[in-house]
Amino acid sequence: MYSADITLNGETFQAMIDTGSSDLWVIYNIPGAKDQGFNSTLIYDGGQVSGTVQAATLEFAGYEVPDQFFMLVPEANNSVGLDVLIGLGPGQGSMIRFLGNSSAADPPLDRIFRQNTSTPNYLSVLLGRSDDPEEPYPGELTVGEVLSNYTGILNQPKLDVTIGNFTMDSVHLGQHWQTLLDQNGIIGPDGETIPIKTVVNNSIDPNKATVAFDTGYTYPQIPEYVAEAIYGKVNGSSLQNVTELGGTFWVVPCDEEINATFIFGGVHYPIHPLDLNFAVRDDFCVGAFQPFSYVVEESITGPLYDMMLGMAFLRNAYLLVDLGDFVDGSNRTTAPPYIQLLSVTNATQASEEFAQQRKNGTSLLANDLLRKTTKSTGKKIAAWIIGVIVVCVVIGLLLLGLCCMCLCRRRNNRNNAGPQQIWPVSQSYRSISDPTPQGADEMHLVHNDPVYNPEQTYRTAWDPNYKA
């Protein structure tokens, strides 16, 4: 998963970004935080956190939010292995908001947009690709603005945010931003569309699959028959239980270029072959779009979506989510929420890049490519070593100047500070290069009590023994 810096009462932390939940919590005591007099518990598929709800001044993505509610989680009450998490999912899914029962308890995004009424109610995420697995995958997050080089996203089709079989009055049951794929909206390697049937009950369009977007998934989760249509006809492919990845994948030849395109709102979004054919190690590759199947039991709602498009998809499309009237306190004139996608992959260039990396006889993994490049250029070092030293000195002086500027900048002038860089979290979190075993490693909020108020239900169709 990706992380970003946040500040609470002047203390800076690296927070995991989760678009599959809506609350903020930390394990650290925050100096000067105000106890709000009630407790909260969030139950995830992989554990739970509980603690007291407090308030402090939050700084995030260039915005300052006074008295932001968050949960202080003692170490003994934390079984999910994270330190700090900020939820960017639909605000109606916030447990703290439900228990606090006032707009003061709104989650961070709602607070930002309520106090900055001239700021557009959207966030955007751009994930990148690194040539070196030892380097973090680049990424940028914006709130209330778009990246300057990608303003074309504002002209893309506006895709309605769907709530599966829920009405707008019960939207709190949804915890992901999701929309509809076009009918049979995946083009496989053979150039033919793949027939897709939705399993979402009472979908607003039963001819279209419901798709959720989540930066927390390294490997997108797609129905088994869709994965078979993409990988099953590849020469030498086989469906295997890959122990080191903790799930079932299509194992494919590493030099086999595989192509697929998703269609939203009539626009084609080609997937880079390197995101379809994932090199786990030298000479061992898997289809990155992982097959899964539901364990569907009798329930009130049934599955909420058909597939989860994570990082391997989002590295090919810049994502914008407009919260619209999902923001707490919105009036009836506020437009409904929508999603926009901008393709960032050129299919022709992507094919050339795949051929260069996989079909030219060099190592499959970028760190090996880096080692070979370093070895072949080693004899040139002596000729420019002095230049490197000079450059380092100049950079050091520049950094010193920047530090001085930062010390002089006032904190209360941080609004609209521009895009914030995001990066994979440290090894205490799940690495960006790690898979999501069978889709169950995501931070899904759950609750096991079938008579619990629906506003406190966070279990999703991906979870084992799913019940609404």
Q: Domains plus CATH for the chain?
A: 2-119 (2.40.70.10), 122-369 (2.40.70.10)
Cα gap 95→81, rounded to integer Å? 20
Measuring CA to CA, how many Å separate 349 from each of 140, 185, 270, 327, 354?
23, 23, 11, 40, 9
- Band the pLDDT of 396: cuts 50, 70, 90: low
Cα gap 213→88, rounded to integer Å? 12
**Residue 164: its pLDDT value, please?**
47
Burial track 134-147 (b if 16+ CB lie within 10 A, e otherwise): eebbebbbbbbbbb
Average pLDDT over the chain reads 77
SS3 content of the chain, % helix, strand, coil (to 5): 25, 30, 45
Q: What is the mean pLDDT of residues 334-348?
A: 92
Alpha-helix residue ranges (DSSP H) falling in 61-180 = 95-100, 108-115
Alpha-helix residue ranges (DSSP H) falling in 167-222 = none
**Residue 278: its pLDDT value, please?**
93
Q: What is the mean pLDDT of residues 111-130?
A: 88
**Residue 202: its pLDDT value, please?**
81
**Residue 466: its pLDDT value, please?**
29
pTM here is: 0.74
Measuring CA to CA, how many Å separate 288 from each of 139, 268, 315?
19, 19, 12
Task: Name the one residue in this structure whose structure tokens are 């966070």.
Answer: 458
Give the pLDDT confidence of 5-51 residue by residue, as tens digits.
999 999 999 998 888 788 999 999 999 999 999 999 887 656 789 99
Q: In what order do the strands lie in the sheet with 261-264?
A: 186-187, 261-264, 267-270
287 contacts 231 by C-beta, under 8 angstroms: yes
- Pick from 106-120, 219-233, 386-400: least confident: 386-400
**Residue 105: its pLDDT value, please?**
95
**Residue 43: its pLDDT value, please?**
76
Cα gap 86→83, rounded to integer Å? 10
**Residue 399: its pLDDT value, please?**
61
Burial track 289-315 (b if 16+ CB lie within 10 A, e otherwise): bbbbeeeeeeeebbbbbbbbbbbbbbb
Give the pLDDT confidence of 232-280 residue by residue, as tens digits.
999 999 999 999 888 999 999 999 999 999 999 999 999 999 999 999 9
Give the pLDDT confidence of 273-292 residue by residue, as tens digits.
999 999 998 889 999 999 98
Task: Name the one residue in this structure whose structure tokens are 């075993």.
Answer: 437
Terminal CA-to-CA distance of the chain, rounded, Å? 26
Q: Are strands 307-309 and 420-424 parallel, antiparallel or unpaired?
A: unpaired
